[in-house]
Amino acid sequence: MANLTSPSDFLLLEFSKVQELQILHFFVFLAVYLTAMTGNLIIIFSVAIDHHLHTPMYFFLMNLAILDIGTISVTIPKSMANSLLNSRSISYSGCVAQVFLFFFFAGSDLAILMAMSYDRYVAICKPLLYETIMHRRCCFQMAGSAWVTGILYAVLHTAGTFAITFCSNMVNQFFCEVPQLLKLSCSDLYLVEIGLLICSFIIFLGCFIFIVLTYMEIIASVLRIPSVKGQKKALSTCLPHLTVVSLLVFTGLFAYIRPAAGISSNLDLVFTVIYAILPPLLNPFIYSMRNKDIKTALLKLFSSGHSSAMTSRGIP
């Protein structure tokens, strides 16, 4: 009979039994992690330092960058460490922390994406009321609500997941993903977490529909702009945003709601990488590399730093 006590640690997915391939996995994840960290930190510093970027759009973008750093830091570093040390182990408390932090950052992330879509809706569809509606206090309330929502969301799912007992400690994923943990359940209490996941599915789908409807209104307003340049500028900020939201929502829903049977572990891994790693990696490129304001802020930052360095060396 299976042991009905919770394990002291879990064993995560091993990418390969060959040490050289484990080292390769370490360097690939390291490159992805450093790229995502660098891109998101650039956004944070640019928005924080340049007062011209102290607007609602960039305020929410900075929040998104902070959450993306958190999301990718929850999953990748432990997987890299295990590959480097040729280990698979993660402690029980470490697994709990991964589940809590991942749901916290993911829930807050979606809420911020909703706030960003609403901000663009007001800016494009109701430009004369923009400053009245999206004032400083409103922006802080929306961001604060997003973070609090993430905390509540994480508490519910963490409690629902670890209320169960486990028959095994073999997690078939590179981090403590809830669907994989539920497969290890020895009791019917896992049905509580399944109920929470179904509720999450409904909430996430509702959020996605809200964002899509918001962008439909935006696109309809954009098409009424007589200037082709104005249309391109408005669409350039909306379409990438909608792309990232679609990528996050659909791959995440596939990983958490789909039936457990009939899906290969390789496909599991692919979809998990897409929803857990790609959005934090791609967001800085989508939101900053094509954004003239961010580029201008970076040029000012580097030029002022270069001038300060020259002055400190006594070069006029």
> Minimum mean pLDDT among 59-68, 82-91, 224-233: which range?
224-233
Number of helices and strands in the chain (H, E): 11, 2
Is 4 within the bounds of a domain? no
Q: What is the CB-side half-sphere exposure of residue 166 using CA atoms within 13 A?
A: 19
pLDDT, position 278: 86
pLDDT at 128 > cutoff 60: yes
Is 2 within the bounds of a domain? no
Is 82 within the bounds of a domain? yes
Tokens 């569809």 label which residue? Answer: 125
Distance CA 281, CA 158 (A): 25
Higher-confidence position of 52 and 62: 62
pLDDT, position 91: 94
What letters, b where the CB count within 10 A reaches 16 and e where it falls short, cover 103-116? bbbbbbbbbbbbbb
Tokens 């993306």 label which residue? Answer: 68
Q: Provide the CATH number for the domain around residue 161.
A: 1.20.1070.10
Query: How far apart are the two ends of the chain, measured CA to CA in Å?
Result: 80
In this structure, what token pair is assigned to residue 195?
Answer: 């109920």
Is 312 within the bounds of a domain? no
Is 153 within the bounds of a domain? yes
pLDDT at 251 > cutoff 80: no
* Mean pLDDT value of segment 262-273: 70
What letters, b where the CB count within 10 A reaches 16 and e where it falls short, cover 248-263? bbebbbbbbeeeeeee
C-alpha 254 chain-centroid distance: 16
* Mean pLDDT value of segment 258-264: 52
Distance CA 283, CA 219 (A): 21
* Mean pLDDT value of segment 230-237: 67
pLDDT tens column, 168-224: 899 988 999 998 898 888 878 778 888 888 888 888 888 888 988 998 888 888 877
pLDDT, position 6: 64
Q: What is the CB-side half-sphere exposure of residue 161 using CA atoms within 13 A?
A: 25
pLDDT tens column, 94-109: 999 999 999 999 999 9
Higher-confidence position of 229 and 128: 128
CB atoms within 10 A of CB 181: 21
pLDDT, position 289: 61
- Count the domains in the chain: 1
Q: What is the pTM of this model?
A: 0.87
**In terms of residue numbers, what domain contains 180?**
9-305
Of 183, 174, 158, 191, the closest CA to residue 271 belongs to 174
Is 300 within the bounds of a domain? yes
Mean pLDDT over each residue of the chain, to the nearest integer: 83
Is the distance from CB of 310 to CB of 65 less than 8 angstroms?
no
pLDDT, position 194: 83
Distance CA 141, CA 118 (A): 14
pLDDT, position 265: 64
* Mean pLDDT value of segment 229-254: 72
Percent of the residues in the chain that have a pLDDT greater than 90, as a whole number: 34
Question: Cα separations (Å) of 92 from 51, 151, 182?
Answer: 44, 20, 15
pLDDT at 167 > cutoff 80: yes
pLDDT tens column, 10-37: 999 888 788 888 899 899 999 999 999 9
pLDDT at 316 > cutoff 90: no
∠ CA 214-216-218 to the nearest 5 degrees?
70
Is 3 within the bounds of a domain? no
Distance CA 13, CA 169 (A): 11
* Mean pLDDT value of segment 119-143: 92
Is 201 within the bounds of a domain? yes
